[in-house]
Chains A and B, each alone.
Chain A
Amino acid sequence: MKGVSLLIILTTIGALFGCKPKIEVPEASMGDVNAAKFIAIGTNNTGGYSNDALNYTGQQYNYAAILATQFSMVTEIGFKQPLVASGSVGVNTNGQSALKLGYKTDCKGVTSLSPIRIGASGDLTQFNSVAGQGPFNNLGVPELSALDLNTAGYGNSANGAGNYNAYFSRFASNEATASVLSDALAQNPTFFTFMVGDFDILTYAKSGGTSGPIPPASGSEGVGFDGSINAAISALTGNGARGVIANIPDVTKYPYFTTIPYNGLTLDADKAETLNAIYNPLGISFVVGENAFTIDDPSEPFGVRKMVEGELVLLSVPLDSVKCFGMGSAFPLRDEFVLTLDEIAELQTKTDEYNAVLLTTSQTYGLGFANVKALLAGLNNGIVYNGVSMSSTFVSGGAFSLDGIQLNPNGQALLANLFIEAINTSYRARIPFANVNAYSGIIFP
C-alpha cells in the first residue's frame, strides 16, 4: 500500500500548491474628473426611452446609469433618476406601452416573431410628476430638441397638448418655469455628459421628411443649433465642471430605416401583369420577382414613381397593407413612410453640420468627445464583443431595441464604454469599462 500513501501525499502537495494564480489588477482612478455631482443631459437614449416607450428597464440600463455604476467602482457618487414604476408597461406620448418580442399573425395568416405591445395601452399614470423625488442626476428627456435646452416652461402642460414635453413635465422641478438647463445648473454639476441634437435629426427622419425643416446649424440660442449648444455648454462649464460631448450618428443606418428593402415588392406573374396593366400607361413597369415599391412623388408627371436604390422605407409602414392591400404597389407609399435620396442627403448634410458644431464646442471648452457616429458606423459593419456578434440589424443585431431607433441595454453599455474611453483619454482617468455582455439584449419568448 506504499503506492497509495505516496499518491495521497503527492495529491495533498498538489492541492496545496494549486492555489489560484494572481494577476494584479491595475489601479482605477477618476483622474481629473470630480464626479461628485454627475449630470446627464440628453434625449431618448439618455432618458431611458427604448422599445418605443419610456420604461423602467430602459431607465435602469441607459448609458448614463451604466456610467454611474462604473464611476461608483472608483469613487463614491449618487445617481438619481426620475424612474417610472418598476412593474409599469411603460408609456409614450401616443399613449402606447413598450414593445416586446411576441407572436403576431399577419393578414396572410402567417404567424411569426414580431415586436408587439406589452399592454393594450400605455401606463399614462407614469406621466404624473415625480419631481418631489428630485433633484435628478439624469436629465435625459425623450424628444428633446437642442433648441429647447433652455426653454423655460418646456414641460408646462398648461401650454396644451403638442406645446410641451410630457417627458420633461413629469420630473421638471417647476413645470411652469424650469428648463432642462436650469434644472441642471440648479444642481451645480461637477461633471456632465451631453448628448443632444440627435432628436432634431431624427424628427425629420422618422417623419419621412414631412416634419418641416431640420433646425438650422447656425443661429442664436433657441433659433440655431450652434447658438443653443454654445449657450448650454458655456453655462454648464461656468463653475469649472468638466464633461463629455457626444456627436450624432448617421441615423439613416438605424434598423428603423434599413429593415425593409426598397425593392421588397415580390411579384408573381399574375400580380406583375395586373400592375403593368395599371402602370404601363404611366411609363412604369414591373417584372416577376423583386421590384421596387411605388411611392408618391409630386415632382413626377403622374405623381408616382418607383423607388430607387439607396432610398429607404420606414418601419412605420403598415406591413399588412403592403402585403395584402396593395400599399407600395397599386397604391404608392405615402411620403411619410419613405426617405428619398434628397431627404437622405439633407439628413447627412445637417448631421455633418451639427457634428462640426459639437466637435468645435468640445474643443473650445476643453471637454471630452464621444464619437458616437464612429461607434454606430462600426456597429453597421458588425462587431464582436467577447464572443458575441452585434450589428445594426433589426432584432438579431442585438444592439438596438425593438423600436429600431433606440438602443437596448447591450447597445447602451457599448455607448457607456465610449464615454468612459473619452473620459479616460481626456481626463487622465482609468475607469474600468462595463462588461457589455452582462447587460440584456433582445428578450426572446
Chain B
Amino acid sequence: MKKLIFSLLLLPTIGFSQGFQVNFQGQTQQGMGGAGSAYAQDAAILFFNPGGAAFQHGNEISVGLTPTFSKITFLEDNTNISANTNSPMGTPFTAYGLFEIKEESRLKLGMAIYTPFGSTVQWEDDWVGRFAITRLQLLSIFFQPTVSVRITDKIGLGAGFVYSYGKVNLQKDLPLQDAEGNYGSAELSGTGNGFGFNLGLYAQPTEHVNVGVTYRSQVNMKLQEGNADFTVPSSLEDNFPDGAFTSSIPLPSVFTLAIAVKPNDKLTIAFDGNYVDWNSYDTLAFDYENNTSSLEDTKSARNYVSSISARLGGEYKFTEKITARLGFAYAISPVQNGYVTPETPDNNRFNYTTGVGYKLNDKLVFNASFLFTQVKRKDTNLETGLSGQFKTHVFAPGFAITYKL
C-alpha cells in the first residue's frame, strides 16, 4: 500500500538555537547572550569551559530551571491555511556541583547535569502538515563528571566525560482512511544513549583579560530499542506491523574561542565564538525490524551544514549584592533551503537576553535571566513538499540558586 516516508525528526529543536549548542545552561551566562567560556564566575563553567573550573574558589552547588515558552505559526503558501503549535512549556534544568579535595587545591572535581534538548513540539489537530509530523517530544539528560587542574597560576585545563540519555516520541498521521473517515497514525518512541567529552583550556594572561578554548565532542545518540506503533484501518494491519526500530542522531561537536575583558571591578564584557560541526547530520535513517512492502526502511536527507555563532554579553555590578546583565547572540542556521521541517523551522537568528543576580550573603546567590528570540523561515521542503512560512517566538525566563559551601 502506501509507502511511508518518515521524514521525521529531529534537530535542532525550538528554543535551543542550533539545538545542542545554545542550550539553557548557567543563568549568569544566559543573561549575557550565552557567552562565558572565558569568564569563570560560577559552577556552570563546568559546561562552558572545564578548564575554568579550577579557578573557582571553594565548593559550590547550583541548580537552575528555565521554563520555555515556544509558539510556532505556519502559513501554507498555496492554500493560505495557517496552523499553530500547542506545545507545552519546556522545562530544561541544570545542576552543577564543584568540589575541591582540600582547600586551595590546584585540582577541582565537578559534576554537571543538564538537558541540552528537552522540549515538545505539538501541532494543532488536523494541521496541513499532519502527514509530515504532528508531535515530537524529546527529553534528554547529560551527565558530565569533570576534572579541572590549574597547571599554573594563569592556566587551567579541564576534561569532562559526557554520558547522555535521551527519550524520543514522535507522531504523525498516515494518509490511510477507514470507513468512518479516521486517518491512521504512527508513533515512534524509544530511548537512546551516547558518549562524548568536553575539553577546555582557560587562561588569565593579565588581570583584565581571560581567554578560553574549548572543544565539546560529537555525541552520537543511538536509539537501540525503539518501538514503532501503527494505527491503521484493520485491512492494512499486516502491512504495518508494530515492532522495533533503530535510529541514531549525531549531536555535533562544538569548538569555541572565547575572551572576557574586565576594564574595572564592576564591568565584564564576554565574547564567545562557536564553530558547530553540523556536517555530521547528513541523513536521518530508520531501520525497522519488520519490513513490509508498505513499511520499508527510510533514509531522509538532512544535509545540515556546519555553522558558526557569536555571543556577546556584558555584566555590571551595581553593588556588592546586585548585578545586571545584557547580551545577544547571532547564530547561523545549519539548515539549508529545502530541508526545513515543521519540528525545526530553524533559521539565522538573534537571541536577546538579560539577567540579574542577587547575592543574599556569602553562601547564597540568586540569578535570573530572560531570553527572547524570533525566527522566520520560508521554505519548500524537498521531501514532503510542505511549502510556506514559519514564524517562531521563544520566551525563556530562567532562574537558579547557587549555594557555596
Contact = CB atoms under 8 A, between A and B. Distances in A.
Contacts of B399: 3, 6-7, 10
Interface stretch (A17-25, A271-279, A328-336): A17-25
B275 interface: no
A425 interface: no
Contacts of A377: none
B395 A445 contact: no
A17 B395 contact: yes
B264 interface: no
Interface string B353-391: 000000000000010101010100000000111100101
Main SS class of interface, B: strand
Nearest to A421: B78
B78 A113 contact: no
A260 interface: no
* Interface core residue of A10, A21, A432, A437 (most chain B CB under 10 Å): A21
A11 B232 CA distance: 40
A18 B393 contact: yes
Contact of A443 (B72, B129, B177, B385): B177
B328 interface: no
Interface string A13-48: 111011111110110100000000000000000000
Contact of B131 (A3, A21, A388): A388
A417 B78 contact: yes
A18 B78 contact: no
A444 B176 contact: yes
A435 B128 contact: yes
Contact of B177 (A17, A103, A444): A444
A384 interface: yes
Given A433-B79, A445-B179, A7 B65 contact: yes
Contact of A384 (B366, B383, B395): B383
B229 interface: no
Interface string B76-111: 101111101000010000000000000000000000
B178 A445 contact: yes
Contact of B236 (A11, A389, A435, A444): A444
Interface stretch (B1-9, B150-158, B207-215, B219-227): B1-9
A283 interface: no
A433 B387 CA distance: 12
B175 A388 contact: yes
A384 B393 contact: no
User: Contact residue range for chain A?
Assistant: 35 or more
Contacts of A28: 80
Interface in A264-323: none
B78 A440 contact: no
B73 interface: yes
Contacts of B74: 23
Contacts of A445: 178-179, 233-235
B403 to A, nearest CB: 12
A23 B82 contact: yes
A3 B69 CA distance: 19
B75 A23 contact: yes
B216 interface: no
A202 interface: no
Contacts of A94: none
A441 B397 CA distance: 46
A244 B80 CA distance: 23
A21 B73 contact: yes
B177 A386 contact: no
A440 B177 contact: yes
B311 interface: no
A84 to B, nearest CB: 20
* Interface core residue of A6, A387, A437 (most chain B CB under 10 Å): A387
A384 B4 CA distance: 11
A152 interface: no
Given A18-B395, A23-B75, A384-B383, A437 B128 contact: yes
Contacts of A131: none
A396 B392 CA distance: 36
Given A26-B80, A398-B175, A19 B391 contact: no
A62 to B, nearest CB: 19
28 contacts: A3-B399, A7-B399, A11-B397, A14-B397, A18-B69, A20-B73, A20-B84, A21-B73, A21-B391, A23-B73, A25-B75, A28-B80, A101-B235, A384-B5, A386-B128, A386-B132, A387-B175, A387-B386, A389-B3, A396-B1, A432-B78, A434-B79, A435-B76, A435-B79, A435-B128, A440-B181, A443-B178, A445-B234
**Lowest 5 A-B CB distances belong to which pairs?**
A10-B397, A387-B131, A444-B233, A387-B132, A18-B69
Given A395-B1, A437-B131, A444-B233, 14 more contacts: A14-B396, A14-B397, A19-B71, A21-B374, A21-B392, A21-B393, A22-B73, A103-B235, A383-B385, A389-B2, A417-B78, A441-B175, A444-B232, A445-B234
